Amino acid sequence: MTDELGALAVPQLHTLRPYEPGKPESELARELGLSHIIKLASNENPLGPSPKAILAAQSTLSELHRYPDGNGFILKQKLADLHTIDINSITLGNGSNDILELITRSFLNTERAAIFSRHAFAVYPISVRAVGATAKVSPALPADHPKMPYGHDLSAMLNLIDERVKVIFIANPNNPTGTWIELQALENFLIRVPSSILVVLDEAYFECAQVPDYASAVSLLTKFANLIVTRSFSKMHGLANLRVGYSLSHPRIADYLNRVRQPFNVNGPALAAATAALDDSEHLENSRENNTRGLIQLRSALDNLGLRYLPTAGNFICIELPQLGRDVFNALLKKGIIVRPIDGYELPQFIRVTVGRSDENTRFLTALTEVLSMTTAHA
């Protein structure tokens, strides 16, 4: 029997697996009959959206029958002011994932290749392979690296450059590792990358990054026309459900992205909420403080448990375990706590845990302690 449907799919689909999202709370609640579930699996803001963003989204609901502003003018104007950048440098996306896809559709095809690091964000391989381009995966820094274990190795990335490479993806900070790259190292890297290659700096976690040696690459945009920086409203701005992100780039790059962009890719409630969220610096500040305190709480408890974790500039932490991360993930699920196994990122000994509110972190830590003591008792 010939596999007609298999032959129907473009060949590259046979190399892809669907993205594995964090398990929704409602699904676990149904499965376990539990009511009090804690989700620390998708790097969402545990304080929720800004109340101003909620009101702004609500105020658009009577216009649900109208198409949204396909150019997102008001949000773009606000972003242009915020970054003191030409409005034509801004591209809005249905989440920043949409922008990543606009990039692969604009600049890659079956003859071309893209570079990204091992353990980098899962959407890079998916969107590169989806357009039939070649994914060149650079080795990460070693597990025993003194500063950034499993982090991006910029020299290894440079070594993979050849004439087919048109795009390089860098997540700063990276998900799932949490590792980051210092601005000077980034600039030295950009100087060495041929200007015929687009460098994508994914700053989805920019607003969480509180480490002293981290800085955004936005300041480098005027120097490098082949640089594009992406940002998201899904993480610290707490609007993951609405799907809004954006990029800053040379206007020529933005023009190309705009040619393949769907006309109404960002909806009205999302545009309004994102615009309002930018005005609520107090909510953002509270969210950052919660994150900083939460990381202190988690790290000190993990130290007491004798567990190693990766350095993080994000709103999540990767914890190394004495057993498979997926087993710990499953044991925690039974206690109503959802974290993320990251064996799909070739880190089978780890789980990735989003920083929650302090009560949520405490419940996670108690459950983790129980899970680990159970398995040691059996051993």
Ligand X SMILES: *Cc1c(COP(=O)(O)O)cnc(C)c1O
Name the amino acid, one letter, at 241.
Answer: N
At 366, list the tokens.
């108690």
- Is residue 168 at the binding interface for ligand X, with CB under 6 A as the rule? no
C-alpha 115: how far from chain center: 17
Site map (CB under 6 A) of ligand X, residues 54-73, x = contact:
--------------------
DSSP β-ladder status, 165-171 and 198-202: parallel
Measured from the CB atom, the residue of 126 and 302 that comes closer to ligand X is: 126
Instruction: Kindly indicate which of the ranges 1-9, 45-53, 74-82, 233-241 contains the residues binding ligand X, using the contact rule CB under 6 A.
Output: 233-241
Q: CA distances (Å), 171 to each of 123, 157, 222, 358, in order?
A: 11, 13, 20, 27
Cα(256)–Cα(166) distance, rounded to whole angstroms? Answer: 14
Among 50, 104, 106, 175, binds ligand X (CB under 6 A): 175
Among 107, 116, 121, 246, binds ligand X (CB under 6 A): 121
CB of 163 to ligand X, least distance (A): 28
3-class DSSP state for residue 112? coil
Residues in the chain, overall count: 379
- Is residue 240 at the binding interface for ligand X, with CB under 6 A as the rule? yes
Instruction: Kindly indicate which of the ranges 24-32, 61-69, 231-239, 317-325 contains the residues binding ligand X, using the contact rule CB under 6 A.
Output: 231-239
Among 137, 204, 208, 321, binds ligand X (CB under 6 A): 204
- Is residue 171 at the binding interface for ligand X, with CB under 6 A as the rule? yes
- Is residue 246 at the binding interface for ligand X, with CB under 6 A as the rule? no
Measured from the CB atom, the residue of 49 and 336 that comes closer to ligand X is: 49
- Is residue 95 at the binding interface for ligand X, with CB under 6 A as the rule? yes
Closest CA to 173 of 217, 228, 134: 217
Cross-strand pairs, 228: 200, 249
Site map (CB under 6 A) of ligand X, residues 15-44, x = contact:
----------------------------x-
CB of 209 to ligand X, least distance (A): 12
Q: CA distances (Å), 261 to each of 15, 99, 104, 176, in order?
A: 25, 9, 12, 28
Cα(89)–Cα(85) distance, rounded to whole angstroms? Answer: 7
Three-class HEC string of 63-81: HCCCCCCCCCHHHHHHHHH
- Is residue 202 at the binding interface for ligand X, with CB under 6 A as the rule? yes
- Is residue 232 at the binding interface for ligand X, with CB under 6 A as the rule? yes
Within a 10 A sphere around the Cβ of 304, how many other Cβ atoms?
10
- Is residue 225 at the binding interface for ligand X, with CB under 6 A as the rule? no
Cα(275)–Cα(50) distance, rounded to whole angstroms? Answer: 11
Instruction: Kindly indicate which of the ranges 90-98, 106-114, 213-221, 357-365 contains the residues binding ligand X, using the contact rule CB under 6 A.
Output: 90-98
Residues near ligand X (CB under 6 A): 43, 95-97, 121, 171, 175, 202, 204, 232, 234-235, 240, 245
